[in-house]
């Protein structure tokens, strides 16, 4: 459903785009190191780093012990010594094991040194549900890090953005938490032709995936495709023309694009895969009501995961997570208010 934004020569899926980004940045920046569990010989649990150790050597692509705290700690130490580091979490769920190093060390160095020290580290890993991974392999915990000053947080939904945002994150000079949607890794229906020339996607700039005039969906990650499908249902069955905004970057957040859309539609539904309580959808709704309340003709709504771990059984997983039917129902409610 996503529309390719550039024309190149070879279609790449989401996973290939990430691998290509890392390969190109390794060649461009000799100080870039990759750290993670099984990322060398194995090429990562999903293959994101496949072939990189063979190409660039074990002195730049390190197979690390099974300790996320150690991986992030070594990444911070290397960054303090002039390196740029990509630290992989084999599943983003286990980023919690490195939480102290991320929020108390990595996020604070720039502030603690009055701006003298930058920490160019990207912590990335596969995230999200819909694949039957159950409670330890289905999380979206991005709100933890959005709440921690000093960190940038991104979540691409397309191969073009996966490559462009990864390259931008590795060049940013600040710590970035990079959420990859594992259900999109090998989804050929969203494969895109990527430019041959070097490009980046700027952090802090949203993308409009579908234009509309009656209702705005604000979302990111896998839910972009659910919102696009819901928008088609709303248009074909109810004549409601919905705009879909993919924020791509949570921190920094492109509020201007959201408010510009609300200036047209005056109605909004915010969708995210994480639990509702203290989730990022609530943050977006709060900013809208604080800064653009006069643009609203109806109360804003959220569609999120229920406040429960993700079950393994597919019917229960579908019940817990946001889906097209739930998004359509929320859109109808807001549009008819």
Say if residue 123 is exposed, middle or buried (CB neighbours under 10 Å; 0-12, 13-18, 19+): buried
**Can you tell me the distance from the alpha carbon of 173 to that of 118, in angstroms, rounded to the nearest whole number?**
6
Which residues are marked as active site? Answer: 137
Q: Identify whether the C-beta of residue 109 lies closer than 8 Å to the C-beta of residue 119.
A: yes
Distances (CA, A) of 302 to 73, 218, 294, 321: 36, 10, 19, 12
Q: How many CB atoms lie within 10 A of CB 137?
A: 20
- Output the 3-class SS for the chain: CCCCCCCCCEEECHHHHHHHHHHHHHHHCCCEEEEECCCCCCCCCCCCCCCHHHHHCCCCEEECCCCHHHHHHHHHHHHHCCCEEEEECCCHHHHHHHHHHHHHHHCCHHHHCCCCCCCCEEEEEEECCCCCCCCCCCCCCHHHHHCCCCCEEECCCCHHHHHHHHHHHHHHCCCEEEEEEHHHCCCHHHCEEECCCCCCCCCCCCEEEECCCCEEEEECCCHHHHHHHHHHHHHHHHCCCEEEEECCEEECCCHHHHHHHHHHHCCEEEEEEEECCCCHHHHHHHHHHHHCHHHCCCCCEEEEECCCCCCCCHHHHHHHCCCHHHHHHHHHHHHCC
């Amino acid at each position: 459903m996503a529309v390719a934004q550039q024309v190149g020569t070879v279609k790449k899926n989401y996973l290939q785009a990430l691998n290509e980004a890392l390969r190109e940045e390794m060649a461009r920046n000799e100080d870039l190191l990759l750290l993670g569990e099984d990322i060398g010989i194995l090429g990562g649990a999903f293959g994101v780093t496949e072939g990189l150790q063979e190409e660039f050597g074990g002195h730049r692509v390190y197979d690390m012990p099974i300790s996320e705290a150690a991986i992030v700690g070594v990444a911070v130490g290397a960054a303090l010594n002039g390196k740029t580091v990509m630290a992989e979490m084999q599943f983003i769920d286990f980023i919690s094991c490195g939480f102290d190093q991320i929020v108390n060390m990595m996020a604070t160095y720039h502030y603690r040194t009055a701006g003298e020290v930058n920490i160019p580290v990207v912590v990335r890993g596969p995230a999200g549900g819909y694949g039957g991974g159950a409670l330890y392999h289905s999380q979206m915990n991005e709100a933890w890090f959005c709440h921690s000053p000093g960190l940038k947080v991104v979540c691409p939904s397309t191969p073009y953005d996966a490559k462009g945002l990864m390259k931008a994150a590795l060049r940013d000079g600040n710590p970035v938490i990079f959420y990859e949607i594992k259900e999109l890794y090998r989804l050929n229906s969203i494969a895109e032709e990527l430019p041959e020339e070097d490009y980046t996607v700027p952090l802090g700039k949203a993308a409009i995936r579908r234009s509309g005039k009656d209702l705005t969906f604000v979302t990111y990650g896998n839910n972009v495709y659910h919102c696009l499908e819901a928008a088609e249902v709303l248009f074909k069955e109810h004549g409601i023309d919905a705009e879909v905004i993919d924020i791509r970057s949570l921190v920094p957040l492109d509020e201007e694009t959201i408010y510009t859309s609300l200036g047209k539609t005056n109605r909004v539904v915010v969708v995210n895969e994480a639990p509702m309580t203290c989730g990022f959808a609530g943050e977006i709704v709060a900013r809208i009501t604080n800064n653009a309340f006069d643009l609203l003709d109806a109360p804003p709504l959220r569609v999120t995961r229920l406040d429960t771990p993700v079950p393994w059984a597919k019917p229960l997983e579908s019940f817990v997570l946001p889906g097209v039917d739930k998004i359509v129902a929320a859109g109808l409610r807001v549009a008819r208010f």
